[in-house]
């Protein structure tokens, strides 16, 4: 008799535990959503907290807006190849001289902006794409261990486009005035590239 009562009590406790678990569904989904949000935030902040990435992406937009009719072409090329570079970095595909090439990108884009150099639009897009490959590789390679790749990539892609748009807006505003301001900014970015190369 006692054994029967104990068995019934155990069965009742098991049913109550199962019911309680079903009454609070979605905890794993909440944790997963939090992980995605944290990864997207980390990805978004990565270009904004790295001065090299921030300067390159912004000054590219400024230069494109000041020297090109299709102001979106070089930034679009940069963003597209950035994604390819990030996937290579995530896959740990080796790419030589990543950090020196990022520094060179600052030097070249800074000088292009300071001098208002006009390249053929396709050539400008190719230059932007070459540099983007190295910036993207650094983004992908530096994926934090705790981050989820897809939202992390999405985060830094959004930040990249935002920086390009900011640069384009600034370049359009300065196109017909304040000739000295983009020159100073471009020279500053170029000097930063030289410092990184010398480091």
- In angstroms, the CA 132 to CA 84 distance is 9
pLDDT of residue 12: 42
Helix, strand counts (H, E) of the chain: 8, 0
CA 185 to chain centroid: 22
pLDDT of residue 93: 96
- In angstroms, the CA 89 to CA 97 distance is 13
Copy the structure tokens of residue 166. Answer: 């900011």
CB 189 within 8 A of CB 197: no
pLDDT of residue 175: 82
List, run by run, the mean pLDDT of 10-residue segments along the chain (199 residues). 49 42 50 82 92 96 94 97 97 96 98 95 97 96 91 96 96 82 93 95
Q: In angstroms, how far apart are the furthest CA atoms of the chain?
A: 97
- In angstroms, the CA 113 to CA 81 distance is 21
CB 47 within 8 A of CB 163: yes
Copy the structure tokens of residue 122. Answer: 């396709």
Q: How many CB atoms lie within 10 A of CB 138?
A: 23
Sign of CA dihedral 61, 63, 65, 68: negative
């Amino acid at each position: 008799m006692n054994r029967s009562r104990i068995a019934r009590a155990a069965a009742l406790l098991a049913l109550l535990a199962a019911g309680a678990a079903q009454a609070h569904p979605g905890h794993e989904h909440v944790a997963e959503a939090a992980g995605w949000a944290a990864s997207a935030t980390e990805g978004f902040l990565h270009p904004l907290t790295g001065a090299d990435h921030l300067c390159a992406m912004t000054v590219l937009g400024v230069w494109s807006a000041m020297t090109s009719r299709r102001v979106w072409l070089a930034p679009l090329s940069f963003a597209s190849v950035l994604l390819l570079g990030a996937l290579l970095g995530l896959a740990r595909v080796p790419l030589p001289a990543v950090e020196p090439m990022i520094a060179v990108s600052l030097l070249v884009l800074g000088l292009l902006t300071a001098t208002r150099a006009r390249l053929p639009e396709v050539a400008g897009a190719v230059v932007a794409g070459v540099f983007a490959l190295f910036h993207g590789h650094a983004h992908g390679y530096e994926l934090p261990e705790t981050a989820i790749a897809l939202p992390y990539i999405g985060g830094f892609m959004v930040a990249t486009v935002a920086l390009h748009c900011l640069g384009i807006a600034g370049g359009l505003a300065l196109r017909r005035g304040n000739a000295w301001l983009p020159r100073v900014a471009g020279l500053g970015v170029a000097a930063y590239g030289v410092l990184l190369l010398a480091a």
